[in-house]
Amino acid sequence: MVARTARAALIVVGLAATGAAAAGMFDDEEARKEIIRLRDNYGSRLEQLETTSRAQFELANEFQALKAEIAKLRGQIEVLTYQVDSSDKRQKDFYVDLDNRLRKLENAAMTPSAAARPIDPVAEARDYEGALGLLKAGKNREAGAAFEAFIATYAGSSFLPSAYFWAGNAWFQEREAARASDHYRKVAELWPDDPRAPDALLGLAQSQQAMGDAKGAKETLGRILETYPDSSAAQMAKQRLGRR
């Protein structure tokens, strides 16, 4: 009886020990899984932080590059603004000077002694180029007035044939054919050997046609063929007269 009781006690103790060991093994397995999960989670978060850091670094670089580009553009804008302001000032000064010259011409006719004054070549070239610049800019009325002021101011200038010619062009573009014809006729009459004389006659014929003087235009075109047969203006005259 005592022996049976002892064996039963040993069996109970053995089962208890086995259960405790199994429970210990189960706890260790759960702990390992938790460690692996935490390690994976830490690795994932670390990778996310590294990605975020790289993105922030790249964004900072782009921001710095953008700031540099903006600074460069601001510098270019300042330069362009200065250039525009300077150009506007030069244009304004030219108009003021031109207006003053025209007022003087209106108040007093040019005397022989004034016409005989030596020409300032710097002022002469400046005023001629200024008038030509207006014509190139399409400001025909201002250009016509500027060339007329030049003609009145520089009576002995070598630019006079060209000044009369371009004045004619400017007024023709402004549909003032009568005024244009006066300037064209001056070139043909006063400087018949000037390279612009044939084209001046062609401009005169155009002005006459615009004024309704078809007969006069035809006579002027015939004059071009007779006087300047080898010029390009003669070729244009032939076409307008219907000749070959």
Assign residue 150 the CATH number of its domain: 1.25.40.10
Say whether both 131 and 231 belong to one domain. yes
Residue 228 lies in a domain: yes
pLDDT at 1 over 60: no
Q: Let me know whether 141 and 214 are in one domain.
A: yes
pLDDT beyond 90 at 135: yes
Do 148 and 205 fall within a single domain?
yes
Domain end point (choices 108, 134, 152): 108
16, part of any domain = no
130 falls within a domain: yes
Q: Which domain holds residue 206?
A: 125-241
Whether 72 is in a domain gets the answer: yes
Whether residue 197 is found in the same domain as residue 234: yes
Query: How many residues does the structure list for the chain?
Result: 244
What's this model's pTM, rounded to 2 decimal places? 0.54
Same domain membership, residue 227 and residue 138: yes
Asked whether the predicted pLDDT for residue 79 surpasses 50, the reply is: yes
Q: Are 98 and 131 in the same domain?
A: no
Residue 132 CB-half CA count within 13 A: 12
Nearest CA to 211 out of 174, 166, 175 is that of 175
Position with higher pLDDT, 31 vs 2: 31
The H or E element containing residue 74 is helix 2-107
In SS3 terms, 89-137 reads as: HHHHHHHHHHHHHHHHHHHCCCCHHHHCCCCCHHHHHHHHHHHHHHHHC
Mean local confidence (pLDDT), 85-95: 65
Q: How many CA atoms lie within 13 A of 37 on its CB side?
A: 6
**Same domain, residue pair 86 and 187:** no
Work out the number of other CB atoms within 10 angstroms of the CB of residue 243.
10
The answer to whether residues 192 and 227 touch, using CB atoms and an 8 Å cutoff, is yes
Residues 143 and 212 in one domain: yes
Question: What average pLDDT does this structure show over 72-101?
Answer: 67
Task: Establish if 118 belongs to a structural domain.
Answer: no
What is the predicted pLDDT for the residue at 92? 67
Is there a single domain that holds both residue 140 and residue 190? Answer: yes
- Contact of 157 with 149, CB cutoff 8 Å: no
102 lies in the same domain as 131: no
Please check whether residues 78 and 164 belong to one and the same domain.
Answer: no
State the Cα–Cα distance between residues 107 and 100, nearest whole angstrom: 11
Count up the domains in the chain and report the number: 2
Percent of the chain past pLDDT 90, that is, above it, reads: 48
- Distance between CA atoms of 207 and 176, rounded to whole angstroms? 8
* Degrees to nearest 5, angle at CA 162 with 234 and 88: 130
Judgement on whether residues 161 and 59 belong to the same structural domain of the protein: no
Q: Looking at the predicted structure, is the pLDDT value of residue 109 above 50?
A: no
Report yes or no on 7 lying in a domain.
Answer: no
In a domain, 225, yes or no: yes
Predicted confidence at residue 10, as pLDDT, reads 47
Tell me: the pLDDT tens digits for 37-57?
Answer: 877 776 777 778 778 767 777
- Establish if 20 belongs to a structural domain: no
pLDDT of the residue at 65? 76
**Which pair of tokens denotes residue 156?**
């002995």
- What pLDDT is recorded for position 81? 66
Please calculate the CA angle 145-87-95 and round it to the nearest 5 degrees: 25
Instruction: Identify whether the C-beta of residue 143 lies closer than 8 Å to the C-beta of residue 166.
Output: yes
The confidence band for 32, taking pLDDT boundaries of 50, 70 and 90, is confident
At 128, the pLDDT band (50, 70, 90 cuts) reads very high
Contact (CB, 8 A) for 91 and 117:
no
Distance of alpha carbon 30 from alpha carbon 83, whole angstroms: 79
DSSP of 135-195, one letter per residue? HHTT-HHHHHHHHHHHHHH-TT-TTHHHHHHHHHHHHHHTT-HHHHHHHHHHHHHH-TTST
> What confidence score (pLDDT) does residue 111 get?
47
Mean pLDDT of 210-229: 96
